[in-house]
Structure 1
């Protein structure tokens, strides 16, 4: 995938990305995005865009007595990706919680070019991670890392209510995390500006402070017309 496409995608928030994906009608509107348990730990950061490097792990259960993969083993797989890595960790523990990530993991991942981390588990050390400007998405904070260990690498994982395959294109910010089908990624990036302009018709009318209900109805009608035209064009593609 061209770096220009990724850069365009970074210019828009995840909510806009989801809006535009819907217009392609490539998947149901209630599929492809992570549920609210997976939240941005640093919602002030700009959007994260990258490709999933997946692993399963546990932190509350003691590790099995066999050789297990470690962080450098996961990093060594990033050459398989089509761009920067987003580490996606599925927590297999259901009987308790300890931290899946902290400042050691995030510094390690960031040093080798990762652009974010997503997990359905918990994290810690936010004060040590914050200076990295490294987006992390998780299900809360806990002080201890317990028995944190990796189990499998670059297999399908289930995080935030969806299945994430290795190499899946992800976009995330304060709104949450979504997948982007790679076959439409470039067109999604190109269509975001037009979608934002359509929404701006209503937003600008509302912000004048003088709009009547008739003005607002007209603005909504114009927005709907613009989005319908964009939908028709993207659906044909």
Structure 2
């Protein structure tokens, strides 16, 4: 990805990118984003942007396969996370869903993933060790909990579902404390211009609302100009 675009995407929040995609499409209705409230280990850290490295885990019950099979899959998982295009985000679905108890994302696992060069993690599952997670590796998760349960890897590089968002291995992800979205393939070239247009048009209303003497007449004039600029 173009370095300037990557820097821009990291500098803006996920709602801005969501709106900018609608600018690219020329209409409302973009829907490739998470639903519900997610938790972020470092809410002030800003956005994480990268290509998804996907997997699925479970933790409620111990694995039924032989130990050597489980270990081989675990090593295959870490090899998958350690390779592939960069920047990258670990996107891991907990198959236990709302009943998830296995805090896969603690101090050790986040440090390992950061060492592999990943930018952060996105999961519907559990995180822990909040005071000990490494800087520069935000985790956006479904919940916080104390136990790792019987956590084990079930699938690698398959499509996952995170809070209603279907994500395939290799999808381009933008995520922050608001949740996450998938940037559709082929939109990259138009995003920088769309973000600039979006921010410029928003200033029409924001600057007016922050000015001395703002009243309904000033709002009406600003909103009219705002609507004209968006079309």
Tell me the TM-score normalised to structure 2 length. 0.90
Report SS of the residue matched to 2:173: strand
Q: Whole-Å Cα distance in 1 between the matches of residues 30 and 195 of structure 2?
A: 20
Cα distance in 1 for residues equivalent to 2:14 and 2:185 = 16
Q: Say whether 1:136 aligns with 2:139.
A: yes
- Give the CA deviation at 1:176: 1.7
Q: 1:5 to 1:75 in 2, by over 3 A?
A: farther
The answer to whether the 8 A contact 1:91-1:100 is kept is no
Distance 1:27 1:222 in 2: 18
Q: State the alpha-carbon separation in 1 of the partners of residues 138 and 208 from structure 2.
A: 34
Q: What residue is the counterpart of 2:38 in the other structure?
A: 38
1:153 aligns with 2:156: yes
Does residue 128 of structure 2 align to residue 124 of structure 1?
Answer: yes
Q: Structure 1 residues 105 and 181 mapped into 2: Cα distance closer, same or farther (>3 Å)? A: same
Partner of 1:86, secondary structure, is: strand
Q: TM-score, normalised to structure 1's length?
A: 0.88
Deviation (angstroms), 1:175: 2.0
**Alignment match, 1:162:** 165
Tell me what 2:89 maps to: 86
Indicate the residue corresponding to 1:233 in structure 2.
none
Q: How many matched pairs?
A: 226
**Which residue of the partner structure matches residue 9 of structure 1?**
9
CA contact (8 A) 1:107 1:132 kept: no
Equivalent residue, structure 2, for 1:231: none
Q: Give me the whole-angstrom Cα distance separating, in 1, the residues matched to 2:88 and 2:78.
A: 9
Q: Which runs of 5+ in 2 are unaligned?
A: none
1:56–1:89: 8 Å Cα contact kept in structure 2? yes
